[in-house]
Chains A and B, each alone.
Chain A
Amino acid sequence: MSRRSMSPAHGLGIGAFALALVLSILGVPVTSAQGTTVFADRVEGPLPVDAPFDAAWDRARAAEIVLSGQPVTPPKLMEPTVASIRVRSLVDDTRIAILLEWDDATRDESVLAVESFSDAAAIQFALGSGTSICMGQQAGGLNLWHWKADWAADLAGRRDVGDVHPGMPDDVAFPSAGTDDAFAIDGSRAGRAAGNLRSAATLVSSVEDLNAVGFGSLTSQSVGGQNVHGASEFRDGRWRVVMSRELAPADPNDAALRPGSAAATVAFAVWDGSRGDRDGQKSVSTWLALTFEPAPVSLLDIWPFLVMLALALGMSGVMVWYGLRQPDAGLGWPNGRPDGGGGP
């Protein structure tokens, strides 16, 4: 029996391939796996950068991301203190906002006692392709956004020891402000005099913008480079934190995010303060893809692709037609059933 026409299975396969080709060219993700991709969806209306519980977030696709401990370098955390987080992302023409949401029984936002640590969350972006998920490496760095519950609480006014120990005398700041001594204001606050952001009198954001190129290298960007905005709310045993930033700032230390380009590589981490989490004692994700919903496409933008597609399909048709006209040898399939491999 010789093959004279395509089987229905073949027709379906070629059709599916053609559809996938078209969708890929149009930038529509063909495959989707829960927990490995975060979609940055285009928002209708204003970007809810200051409203973690805004209804706009409900229309964004949520990725449930499983976290593990940090078993690589001391101080380690062998079992995660937070099992998973839900991540959503929204973009408009100029900014991106990423919402992290996780369950936490305690709201920990003070670091004023020796033993108290703050809840925190971070997003890390790979800068270039040669980086490592473990705090980056020299060949490829990371850009990190680190939200801290204590910074969020301090935005309204920096808390100090008097807030946890009301009886503490408040006349111990010395030398007093107002003298013309260069050390008068900050000299006895060594961290502040050294320019440490943690010690700063006023914070510009609850999110710190940092870079890292390996263990122990994490470094804050300059005060002028701090351009990540934060908003957070703790409600019913749940943190919701929004971190937002301009899509592609000029600073080369900032991860540039461009809708329409390849997916960004991101990872997430969460700290539970009341469990003593800080530094490497954190619950972390693996690398994930942050992909952008494409901008609406007009025919005018993609006519070269359509011409190429038409040409490709036309040539395929010619070849199929030519093949069907050949006697038994067909398109190189053995004699007999093309997918059975047997004889006539």
Chain B
Amino acid sequence: MPDVRNWQLGRSMTYPYPEHHPDWQFAFVFNINRCIACQTCSMACKSTWTFSKGQEAMWWNNVETKPYGGYPHHWDVQLLELLDGAHEAAGIDPTWGAAAAGAEAPYGSYDGMTIFEAAAREQPQTQQALGYLPADEEWRAPNIFEDVGPAGRPAPGSLGLEAAGAELPEHKAYFFYLQRLCNHCTYPACLAACPRKAIYKRPEDGVVLIDQSRCRGYRKCVEACPYKKSMYRPSTRVSEKCVACYPRLEGADPLSDGVPMETRCMAACPGRIRLQGLVPIDPDGTWADDRQNPINFLVRHEKVALPLYPQFGTEPNGFYIPPRWAPRPYLRQMFGPGVDEAIARYRAPSRELLAVLQLFRASETVIFRYEIEEGPKVFENEIDGKPWAMYDDTVIGFDKIGREVVRLSVEEPVHQRSAPHPNSI
């Protein structure tokens, strides 16, 4: 089996196909700290793509409550358990070695097994990836355990509130929302597992699609995708998945003015938690060093956004700013060893990061490049015992052909009307 380079693991890994990379990669950053689980993204997707018969339980985009929620039920816990079992059987203690950290190994090096390696270790190897097929009932409650968290230590008669109040860095009673869609992985497990070769990754934008004319409904992709984002549609007897709103990505939507436009779920977010982009990929598969691309800046330079379960080994292209208040061991299991640094950087953002964070949901047009115009210092404070200052900088976003599409300042402009105005209170 060929070896492929997975920068999120800081090493090479086995994959059924040799490396072959797109020119651009669809990628996104979600700021978990801001999400209110209003499900506007879920409905935007559903009303666009999955509103028909046979798609009743199909949510290409969903928002679930962690730690107990999951669509399908406990998808991540079930796979983690399988992977744990494989590690135990092999006598391997999967850890991350920090020693190898570098530009192409930002989180160190993972020395456990990926889902591909766990499957290859089975002799004879019968499957391409470790996985399981969730049954019908497991897809029927997209936000089960909504807002349920582990109980803390509530004081008597305190309505469940902590006796001492909640304090960072970790709340004892906590939950957070996890926004999920297909990660359009660099090494998709769905594609690896499809015996039909009906799944392909587009060279122009890295979007992973199921060819609806070739799919034979074997559900090997549903079984293999660690994120469970390939879904079976009984009405057509074939599987479907997120298409990354590719007509919008291609600039084919009438509103797009011919340049790439964000997907429906991204563009609909009222909480401004989402930023979607296309990152340029070098021929060797590494991310081109394009610091002015906002996704590239957040993921590779600032390292404030992290991949979801990188240890699965598919190199997902969705990245998350982890929630500040959740227990760190839980977050490290979910986002890898970069969690502590990411949260520290988000709690006390650099001047540039604070400006780039303003770009979230600022425009439907995909922002390919940003620039910052410096403004005056407006606030000073101390965070974690260190001085921190805020500047009213202006961030400017540009579309694919270099046109300015958005201009925002860190401080929201305020106009105070004079008292005699007829509406004034």
On A, residues with C-beta under 8 Å from B are 71, 73-78, 111-115, 150, 160-161, 164, 168, 170, 172-174, 188-196, 198-199, 215-219, 276, 278-280
Whether A172 lies near B213 (C-beta < 8 A) is no
Instruction: List B contacts of A276 (CB < 8 A).
Output: 133
Whether A174 lies near B52 (C-beta < 8 A) is yes
Interface range on chain B (Cβ under 8 Å from partner): 35 or more
Whether A191 lies near B52 (C-beta < 8 A) is no
Whether A161 lies near B234 (C-beta < 8 A) is yes
Q: Return 10 A-B CB contacts under 8 Å, by A number.
A: A75-B127, A75-B220, A115-B135, A172-B51, A190-B212, A190-B236, A193-B212, A194-B212, A216-B195, A279-B220
Q: Which of B119, B125, B196, B212 has the most CB of A within 10 A?
A: B212
Q: Would A111 and B237 be within 8 Å (CB), given that A74-B128, A279-B218 are in contact? A: yes
Interchain nearest-CB distance for A122 vs B (Å): 13
Instruction: For the complex, give the distance between the alpha carbons of A279 and B136 in Å.
Output: 20
The residue that B195 contacts in the complex, of A113, A168, A174, A279, with Cβ under 8 A, is: A279
Whether A215 lies near B212 (C-beta < 8 A) is no
Given contacts A111-B237, A114-B134, A164-B234, 18 further A-B contacts (CB under 8 A): A74-B126, A75-B195, A77-B126, A78-B126, A112-B234, A114-B135, A115-B135, A161-B54, A189-B52, A189-B236, A190-B238, A194-B212, A196-B214, A198-B238, A199-B212, A218-B196, A279-B196, A279-B220
Whether B235 lies near A76 (C-beta < 8 A) is no
Instruction: For the complex, give the distance between the alpha carbons of A76 and B127 in Å.
Output: 7
Instruction: List B contacts of A78 (CB < 8 A).
Output: 124, 126
Instruction: List B contacts of A71 (CB < 8 A).
Output: 124
Report the nearest B residue to A198, measured CB to CB. B237
Report the nearest A residue to B217, measured CB to CB. A198
Whether B233 lies near A173 (C-beta < 8 A) is no
Report the nearest A residue to B120, measured CB to CB. A74
Interchain nearest-CB distance for B194 vs A (Å): 8
Whether B136 lies near A192 (C-beta < 8 A) is no
Instruction: For the complex, give the distance between the alpha carbons of A87 and B196 in Å.
Output: 28
Whether A114 lies near B139 (C-beta < 8 A) is yes
Whether A196 lies near B213 (C-beta < 8 A) is yes
B197 sits at the interface (CB 8 A) = yes
Instruction: List A contacts of B139 (CB < 8 A).
Output: 114
Instruction: For the complex, give the distance between the alpha carbons of A74 and B220 in Å.
Output: 10
**By DSSP majority rule, is chain A's interface helix, strand, loop, or mixed?**
loop
Interchain nearest-CB distance for A184 vs B (Å): 12
B300 sits at the interface (CB 8 A) = no
Report the nearest A residue to B140, measured CB to CB. A165
B215 sits at the interface (CB 8 A) = yes
B53 sits at the interface (CB 8 A) = yes
The residue that A160 contacts in the complex, of B54, B135, B197, B238, with Cβ under 8 A, is: B54
Instruction: For the complex, give the distance between the alpha carbons of A172 and B235 in Å.
Output: 12
Instruction: For the complex, give the distance between the alpha carbons of A174 and B54 in Å.
Output: 12
Interchain nearest-CB distance for B59 vs A (Å): 14
**By DSSP majority rule, is chain B's interface helix, strand, loop, or mixed?**
loop
Instruction: For the complex, give the distance between the alpha carbons of A280 and B127 in Å.
Output: 10
Instruction: List A contacts of B171 (CB < 8 A).
Output: none
Interchain nearest-CB distance for B175 vs A (Å): 27
Interchain nearest-CB distance for B79 vs A (Å): 16
Instruction: List B contacts of A195 (CB < 8 A).
Output: 213
Q: Would A114 and B236 be within 8 Å (CB), given that A78-B126, A160-B53, A172-B51 are in contact? A: no
B56 sits at the interface (CB 8 A) = yes
Instruction: For the complex, give the distance between the alpha carbons of A155 and B167 in Å.
Output: 64
Instruction: For the complex, give the distance between the alpha carbons of A215 and B133 in Å.
Output: 23
Whether A114 lies near B136 (C-beta < 8 A) is yes
The residue that B237 contacts in the complex, of A194, A199, A216, A219, with Cβ under 8 A, is: A199
Report the nearest A residue to B216, measured CB to CB. A198
Whether B212 lies near A191 (C-beta < 8 A) is yes
Interchain nearest-CB distance for A55 vs B (Å): 36
Instruction: List A contacts of B236 (CB < 8 A).
Output: 189-192, 196, 198-199
Interchain nearest-CB distance for A287 vs B (Å): 22
Whether B219 lies near A278 (C-beta < 8 A) is yes
B177 sits at the interface (CB 8 A) = no
Instruction: For the complex, give the distance between the alpha carbons of A150 and B234 in Å.
Output: 12
Interchain nearest-CB distance for A65 vs B (Å): 24
Instruction: List B contacts of A114 (CB < 8 A).
Output: 133-136, 139, 219, 222, 232, 234
Instruction: List A contacts of B237 (CB < 8 A).
Output: 111, 150, 191, 198-199
A-B pairs, top 4 by smallest CB distance, nearest first, are A191-B236, A194-B212, A199-B236, A188-B52
Instruction: For the complex, give the distance between the alpha carbons of A280 and B124 in Å.
Output: 15
Instruction: List A contacts of B217 (CB < 8 A).
Output: 111, 198
Instruction: For the complex, give the distance between the alpha carbons of A74 and B212 in Å.
Output: 22
Report the nearest B residue to A218, measured CB to CB. B196
Q: Which of A111, A161, A218 has the most CB of B within 10 A?
A: A161
B205 sits at the interface (CB 8 A) = no
Interchain nearest-CB distance for B232 vs A (Å): 5
Whether A168 lies near B52 (C-beta < 8 A) is no
Q: Which of A193, A194, A195 has the most CB of B within 10 A?
A: A194
B240 sits at the interface (CB 8 A) = yes
Whether B233 lies near A172 (C-beta < 8 A) is no
Chain B window 69-108, contacts with chain A (Cβ cutoff 8 Å), 1 for yes, 0 for no: 0000000000000000000000000000000000000000
Instruction: For the complex, give the distance between the alpha carbons of A276 and B218 in Å.
Output: 10
Instruction: List B contacts of A279 (CB < 8 A).
Output: 195-196, 216, 218, 220
Whether B212 lies near A161 (C-beta < 8 A) is no
Interchain nearest-CB distance for B148 vs A (Å): 25
Whether B53 lies near A173 (C-beta < 8 A) is yes
Instruction: For the complex, give the distance between the alpha carbons of A218 and B125 in Å.
Output: 22
Whether B213 lies near A194 (C-beta < 8 A) is yes
Whether A188 lies near B51 (C-beta < 8 A) is yes
Among residues 183 to 227 in chain B, which have CB atoms less than 8 Å away from a CB atom of chain A? 193, 195-197, 211-220, 222
Whether B216 lies near A76 (C-beta < 8 A) is no
Q: Would A173 and B52 be within 8 Å (CB), given that A74-B125, A113-B136 are in contact? A: yes
Interchain nearest-CB distance for A135 vs B (Å): 10
Instruction: List A contacts of B128 (CB < 8 A).
Output: 74-75
Whether B135 lies near A189 (C-beta < 8 A) is no
Whether A280 lies near B195 (C-beta < 8 A) is yes
Instruction: For the complex, give the distance between the alpha carbons of A304 and B193 in Å.
Output: 59
Instruction: List A contacts of B119 (CB < 8 A).
Output: 74
Whether A115 lies near B124 (C-beta < 8 A) is no
